[in-house]
Structure 1
Amino acid sequence: MADRSEYDAFVEDAWSRLLRTAYLLTRDWALAEDLVQTALLKVWLAWPRVRQEREAYTRKIVFNVYVSWWRRRWRQVELPSGEPPDRTETADRMGEADERETIWRALGRLPARQRAVVVLRFFEDMTEAQAAETLGCSVGTVKSQTSKALAKLRVDESLLVRRG
């Protein structure tokens, strides 16, 4: 029973940070919650073996599950929905909402691996080594994926500036 109380305390402490990371990856709160819950289930199954760096271990699972979902989604047929959801924004926050939407769209155009690296490096403020550890790849891969992602984001930004 001690393991269960430790696990419950861990989930309570880490939930909001893990959810924020998952949201930055998925750009959907419901999917982000599903992603975190799936990761936490996997952590619970391995809980007796996980002694140190539990949050880092869980974060790595979040990214691995996200990548596997992304790969699976490419093999499925996507069906369009009827109508987009209604959006209610106040006039004084429209500029902020537009900027946030631009960032989400830009992140959404990145391949899954590049998006994961950008989220870890710039939203989670991890070092290259920490990001490599989380993603289970080399520091060189993190560097190259970051470089490619930033180049793609710069191209997207220059296209937006020319259109505007």
Structure 2
Amino acid sequence: MDRDAGFRAFVDAHQRPLLRLAYLLTGEVHRAEDLLQSVLVRMIGRWSRLRHVDNLDAYARKAMVNQYISWRRRRDSDEVPSAEPPDRAYSTEDSAVLRIMLRQALMRLTPKQRAVIVLRFYEDRTERDVADLLGCSVGTVKSQTHHALARLRALAPELAPRLPVLDDPARSEGARR
């Protein structure tokens, strides 16, 4: 078995979920592919040390979130300010419209807020899991989640009824154990 077979097996097993995470973080297919590629390139360069890591999937996810946040710090904003909000000629009940609205609102969150929302609610991870992945405290995850949900409600009030309520016992740490 050649030395890269383990890496190829890892990529084969985890590429799709990692690409999904990258897309949710970046909001664009091409940037998601670039993000995943940059993380995988870094991982293969360190593969001889990484193959002994207990949870390579968690390592890759953490590396992806960190790389994404690093990219966002260096990148200028793509947003174009507008004096007038666009006219709304659609029904907010249309699921495609709701997905687009959510994506647009997510793109306006800070990178850390978006990472917390994606990890908590899309990947359905516990606060502890997110804290471990992001290398921060559970309290930071809770406050970032609270601020991100408040900002999403402000940016897209149409989505507010569909956004998670933090007091929901099904979402709490104790309900997952």
Band of TM-score, shorter chain: 0.7 to 0.9
Alpha carbons of 1:96 and 1:159: their partners in 2 closer, same or farther (altered >3 Å)?
closer
Task: Measure the CA separation in 2 of the matches of 1:103 and 1:60.
Answer: 23
Task: Measure the CA separation in 2 of the matches of 1:156 and 1:55.
Answer: 32
TM-score by structure 2 length?
A: 0.76
Once the two structures are superposed, what CA deviation does each residue of 1:3-50 show, in whole Å capped at 9, x if it has no partner?
Answer: 310100100110000000000011100100010010011111221222
Task: Measure the CA separation in 2 of the matches of 1:28 and 1:16.
Answer: 15
Question: What value does the CA root-mean-square deviation take over the aligned residues?
Answer: 2.1
TM-score by structure 1 length?
A: 0.82
Give the match for residue 49 of structure 1.
49
Task: Measure the CA separation in 2 of the matches of 1:39 and 1:9.
Answer: 16
8 A Cα contact 2:101 2:156, kept in partner: no
Once the two structures are superposed, what CA deviation does each residue of 1:85-116 show, in whole Å capped at 9, x if it has no partner?
Answer: xxxxxxxxx92221110110111111111000
Once the two structures are superposed, what CA deviation does each residue of 1:97-146 show, in whole Å capped at 9, x if it has no partner?
Answer: 21110110111111111000000000111111111111111111111100
Following superposition, the deviation at residue 155 of structure 1 comes to 2.1
Following superposition, the deviation at residue 157 of structure 1 comes to 3.4
Give the match for residue 129 of structure 1.
128
8 A Cα contact 2:102 2:159, kept in partner: no
Give the match for residue 26 of structure 1.
26
Give the match for residue 90 of structure 1.
none
| 1:102 is the counterpart of 2:101 | yes
Matches within 5 A, 1:133-144: 133-144=132-143
Secondary structure in structure 2 of the residue aligned to 1:64 = helix
Following superposition, the deviation at residue 156 of structure 1 comes to 2.5
Give the match for residue 10 of structure 1.
10
Structure with the largest fraction of helix = 1
Q: Which has the higher contact order (CA 8 A, sep 6+)?
A: 1
Task: Measure the CA separation in 2 of the matches of 1:151 and 1:95.
Answer: 23
Matches within 5 A, 1:42-81: 42-50=42-50, 51=52, 52-74=54-76
Unaligned stretches of 5+ in structure 1? 81-93
